[in-house]
Structure 1
Amino acid sequence: MPLLKLQEITRQYKSGQIRVNALKGISLTVEEGEFVSIMGPSGSGKSTLLNIIGCLDRPTSGTYELAGQRIENLSDSRLADIRNRFIGFVFQSFHLIPDLDAQANVELPLIYRGMGARERRFRAVQALEAVGLAERRHHRPSQLSGGEQQRVAIARALVGDPKVILADEPTGALDSRSGRNIMAIFQQLNRERGITIVQVTHEKDIACYGRRIVYLLDGQVEREEILEDPQVAFGEAAVSTTGLLTEVQEK
């Protein structure tokens, strides 16, 4: 059974008296354990599609199944619960709370689950260890580099043990070395933990770290490309199967 299954998805918006067709009958299937990149020019519908996959928005028409469950007609509270328990989000602008340290930022999704403080702290530290930032867990975002902030964001996405991580331009605000580090983490989360990853990017070299590229144009799937030999990211650290950091030679 596919993890994500979208059939004939449309999304329309009103801008004054004008109706904008952001998505025009998109059908897309993502199997559990895939690493899929979504590419397309500005205005092609990439972020709109990712928002629907992430249950942040609803389609105008069409059907969407997540792990076999129909999603499009669920209540707002049920959608919020699905987002919290099944989906991890990573955004270009990190979305960290500036007054909280790294550990407190990572704990946030678990607070919404009603998890006790001791368990939250334990799981947050584990997630920060997995991205190489356990020693900086008491630093606030302003005390971290851009790459470190994005790694905190990945730890926050990871802490809830999600089925899928959705990333919207995850390297867009980073230098090339930090971007490679982020892709190294994504690849090992995908390969060693089996987490499904769907990322939106406008950079072809970043898209090539996945195993499939879906190209959008004018709100439709233009074509798909299977990568038999995806690009391999070599960064400062990579996630091991035990959640500890393994040093990797920079190439």
Structure 2
Amino acid sequence: MRTHQPDADISLIRHAHDEAAVWHAGQTRRSGDPFITHCLAVAAIVADIGMPPPVICAALLHDIDDSPCPPGRVTEHFGPETADLISGVRTARLDAIPLSALNFGRARAQALRPTHEEAVLAIRLADRLHNMRTIAFVAPTRRYRVARETIELVAPLARAAGLTDVSQELHDLSSAVLRPASVAAVTTRTLTLLTLLLPAPTRARWREEWHAEIGTLANRRTRTRFTLRVLLGTPRLAWTLRRPAFRERRW
């Protein structure tokens, strides 16, 4: 928050954090992490988008209705604006939000005063982004359904609203769920086959190195480029590795 608005009063945000921590105490996510970690992650993404304190408070408290928190407490402590945002986050349909109502560039330029629709969308996108980052803990059937909705509806909506970084990450995370076999499995098999060109004593080492490298690459394009680079370089590598052995036999 201080990065975007150094002079902002963050006391309300601290209060929202403390409220979320109290009412979500004992709740955990599928990963086993305390539920408050999700609230914090969503609020951090919303803050990075550039939203003002009331929206960040709503992000911290966006799942408060799934806790024992008494009705009306949010309105009493944080005001009707934050309470209305939480209600909007829970009830608004993303496909019903008119694109004409969204302009995050304008919201930032006008002293960070987003419209209700922009604030609701910011929280919904942040919620989906963190859920996609942790989707490995979701059952496979639901994982595929959420990824399909994200790539077809949520990521394009984020791009249309001007949040290109959020849109790109949503797209990449969804693609990793929807097309794992065509990316990871095929490239891994290809690299394993390429080690057959190398001298037998060196194959395990290079197979391990290449598989470890491919595992660090985040998207299909970079994995494909790495595989092509290995494919083109393997004949020369094989020749280099075999040359000392040939010299020993010749002498």
TM over 0.5: no
Greater fraction of residues in strand: 1
TM superposition score normalised by structure 1: 0.27
Query: Which structure: larger Rg?
Result: 2
